[in-house]
Amino acid sequence: MADKIFRVNMTDLSTSIEDVPADWAGHGGRGLTSNIVAAEVPPSCHPLGPNNKLIFAPGLLSGTAASNSGRISAGAKSPLTGTIKESNSGGTSAQRLAKIGCKALIIEGQPKDDSWYSLLLTPEGVTISKEEELVGKGNFAVVETVEKRFSDKIGILSIGQGGEMLMTAANISVKDPDSHVRSLGRGGLGAVMGSKKIKFIALDAQDGKVAIADMDAFRAANKIFTKALVDHPVSQALGTYGSNVLVNIINEAGGLPTKNFSAGQFEGHEQISGETMHDIIVERGGKPTHGCHAGCVIKCSQIYNDLKGNYKTSGMEYESIWAMGADCTVDNLDQIAEMDHIMDDIGIDTIETAVAFGVAMEGGVLEFGDSEEMIRILTEEIAKGTALGRVIGNGAGSVGRTYGVTRVPVVKNQAIPAYDPRAIKGIGITYATSTQGADHTMGYTIATEILGVGGTADPLSKEGMVELSRGLQIATAAIDSTGMCLFIAFAALDDGTCLPALIDMLNARFGINLTAEDVTNLGMSILKTEHAFNTAAGFTNLDDRLPEFFATEPVAPHNAVWDFSGEEIDTFWNF
Amino acid sequence: MQVQVKLFAFFRENRFIKEDRELPNGTTAGQVVDELDIDREEVGVLMLNSRHCKFDTVLQEGDIYAIFPVIGGG
Ligand code: SF4
> What is the pLDDT at residue A471?
96
Name, in order, each residue with C-beta under 8 angstroms of A80's C-beta and a sequence gap of 6 or more: A168, A169, A186, A187, A188, A352, A395, A413, A414, A437
How large is the ipTM? 0.98
Number of domains in chain B: 1
Q: What are phi and psi of A351, to 5 degrees?
A: -70, -55
> What is the pLDDT at residue B74?
83
Ranges of residues in chain A with a pLDDT under 70 are 1
Which residues 317-346 of A are in CB contact (within 8 Å) with B? 317-318
- For chain A, the straight-line distance linking the first and the last C-alpha, in angstroms and rounded, comes to 38
Nearest CA to ligand 1 atom 6: A299
Q: For A464-498, write each residue's pLDDT tens digit.
A: 999 999 999 999 999 999 999 999 999 998 899 99
The CATH number of residue B15's host domain is 3.10.20.30
What domains can you pick out in chain A, each with its CATH number?
4-203 (3.60.9.10), 214-241+421-575 (1.10.599.10), 248-416 (1.10.569.10)
Which atom from ligand 1 is nearest to the alpha carbon of A301? Answer: 7
Q: Are the beta carbons of B74 and A557 separated by less than 8 Å? A: no
Which atom from ligand 1 is nearest to the alpha carbon of A315? Answer: 7
> What is the pLDDT at residue A506?
97
To the nearest whole Å, the CA of A88 is away from the closest chain B CA by: 14
Q: Is residue B35 part of a domain?
A: yes
Which atom from ligand 1 is nearest to the alpha carbon of A182? Answer: 8
* Local structure of B5: helix, strand or coil: strand
Domain that holds residue B24: 2-69
Pocket mutation for ligand 1, best pick of A485, A486, A488, A490 (most atoms within 8 Å of C-beta): A485
Amino acid residing at A58: P
Q: Count interface pairs A-B at CB distance under 8 A.
A: 86
Q: Do A166 and A52 touch, CB atoms closer than 8 A? A: no
Q: Is residue B23 part of a domain?
A: yes
Q: For B6-36, write each residue's pLDDT tens digit.
A: 999 999 999 999 999 999 999 999 999 999 9
Q: Is residue B61 part of a domain?
A: yes
Which atom from ligand 1 is nearest to the alpha carbon of A291? Answer: 7
Cis peptide before A557 (omega within 30 of 0): yes
Q: Are the beta carbons of B8 and A275 separated by less than 8 Å? A: yes
> What is the pLDDT at residue A1?
56
State whether residue A231 sits within 8 Å of chain B by CB. Answer: no
Q: Do A102 and A67 touch, CB atoms closer than 8 A? A: no
Q: How far apart are CA A87 and CA B45, in angstroms?
A: 31
Amino acid residing at A117: Y
Q: Do A533 and A83 touch, CB atoms closer than 8 A? A: yes
State whether residue A456 sits within 8 Å of chain B by CB. Answer: yes
Question: Within a 13 Å sphere around the CA of A549, how many CA atoms are in the beta-carbon half?
Answer: 13
For residue A89, report the distance from its CA to the centre of ligand 1, in Å: 9
Task: Identify which of A233, A270, A446 has the shortest CB distance to residue B69.
Answer: A233
Task: Identify which of B42, B44, B74 has the shortest CB distance to residue A446.
Answer: B74
How many other C-beta atoms are found inside a 10 Å radius of the C-beta of residue B34?
A: 12
0.95 exceeded by the pTM?
Answer: yes
> What is the pLDDT at residue A44?
98
Burial-class residue A20 by CB neighbours within 10 Å (0-12, 13-18, 19+). Answer: middle
Q: DSSP assignment of A233-245, as one string? A: HHHHHHHHH-GGG
List, in sequence order, every residue forming a beta bridge with A157; answer none if it has no partner: A174, A201
Q: Is A414 in the pocket of ligand 1 (CB under 6 A)?
A: no
Q: Is A291 in the pocket of ligand 1 (CB under 6 A)?
A: yes
Q: How far apart are CA A139 and CA A21, in angstroms?
A: 35
Q: Is residue B74 part of a domain?
A: no
Q: Best mutation site among A186, A238, A249, A430 for testing chain B: the one with the most B CBs within 10 Å?
A: A249
Q: Best mutation site among B40, B45, B49, B71 for testing chain A: the one with the most A CBs within 10 Å?
A: B71
To the nearest whole Å, the CA of B67 is away from the closest chain A CA by: 9
Which residues 110-169 of A are in CB contact (within 8 Å) with B? none
